[in-house]
Amino acid sequence: MTALRMDDPTQWKPPVDAAELSRHVHEGREVRQFDLSGRDFRGARLGGGTFHEVDLRGAKLDGADLREAALIGCMLDGASLAGATLHQATLHKCSLGRVDLRGATLTGTKLIETIASDIDLGETDLRVAQFIKCKLDGARFTGAKMDRSALIECDLARADLRGNHLEGVTLLETDLRQTLIEGAVFERCTLIKSTLSGMRLAGMRFAFTQFTEAALEDCDLSGAVANNANFKGSKLARARLGGANLANALFIEADLSGADLRRAQLTQAILIDAQLERANFSGATMYQCILQRAKCREAVFRDVDLTYADFSHADIADADFTGAQLFRANLHAVRDAGARIPTRAIALGTDPELAAAENWRPRFTLPRE
């Protein structure tokens, strides 16, 4: 009888239990195209192993050690990996539908182009984990640690992030409109080019969060805490921001046309080149705000504290400043046709010397060679 040659992959037999699978991996053999579905591999030591197109559907891998393992094109639908360790593992083009990963460790783990519909990530450690172009619809993140994790261009429809504390998390170009995020805290997160249009986010916390070029039209952010947030180039038309804390926030080139910012805290916020047509700032605090070149046509600034605010070159035509505090506010070179500014006398008008310098043109133009 001819003995099996361990250097010949065609003679390798599928492992039947955790001990055999661990030995297979520790001997440096790749696990390739085996049908291991439904088998019990609980507690297996598989660190550093390579799994290629392996069928692990319904398998039991609870408490298994898969740290730094590579799983490529594997099927794990319905498998159980509760309490497993996948530290710095890589899963590429795998299927993880309905997988139980509760309490697992996925620190530094990479999931790339993986389908993980209805996956359970409750109480998992996802610090510095990366999900890239993954389908995570219906995923449960209840109680997961998500510090500095990244979800890039992922499908998060019906995903549950309610009550989670997200610190330093990146959600790049992600549509969150069907994601459950009630009660979640976003701190120093990155939501660049993400879509939150029409969402109810009232009273939520987004301190120091990046919303650059995000879609937030018709969004309800009333009473939200978004101090030091960056809304550069974001779309906030008709958004409700009444009573929100937006101190030191950046709204450069943002579209806030028709937005409701009544009683909002905007101390030292920067709204350079922002679109503020018909926005309502009544009762807001805008101390030392910078609104240079802002488009404020028909905007309402009734009873607003605009002390030391800078409207240089802004378009404030038909805007209403009734009751506004304008002490030392800078109205240099504003376009103010039809604007109502009862307390204009305490504001600073156009600086003639500065205007002359800005409008200076050379008398002669040197000929081009």
Looking at residue 13, its pLDDT comes to 80
To 5 degrees, how large is the angle CA 76–CA 78–CA 82? Answer: 85
Is 123 a domain residue?
no
Tokens of 192: 């660049």
Say if 17 falls within a structural domain: no
- Residue 274 domain boundaries: 191-358
pLDDT at 365: 72
- Measure CA 80 to chain center: 29
Beta bridge partners of 91: 71, 111
- Give this prediction's pTM: 0.89
> Does residue 223 form part of some domain?
yes
Query: Does a structural domain hold residue 352?
Result: yes
pLDDT at residue 368, as a whole number: 74
Q: What pLDDT score does 2 carry?
A: 44
Domains in the chain: how many in total?
A: 1
Neighbours of 35 (CB within 10 A): 12
Angstrom distances, CA of residue 242 to CA of 10, 202, 284: 68, 9, 9
The whole-angstrom separation of Cα 199 and Cα 194 is 12
Report which of 128, 133, 90 is spatially closest to residue 110, judged by C-alpha positions: 90
What tokens appear for 322 in the block?
């009734």
Q: Is residue 320 part of a domain?
A: yes
DSSP, res 3: P
313's tokens: 């070159």
What pLDDT shows up at residue 11? 58
Can you list the residues of the chain whose pLDDT is less than 50?
A: 1-5
> What is the domain-level CATH number for residue 336?
2.160.20.80
- 307 located within any domain: yes
**Torsion-angle region of residue 186: left (phi > 0), alpha (psi -120 to 50) or beta?**
beta
| Residue 180 counted as domain residue | no
Q: CA-CA distance, 112 to 89, in Å (whole number)?
A: 11
In a domain, 104, yes or no: no
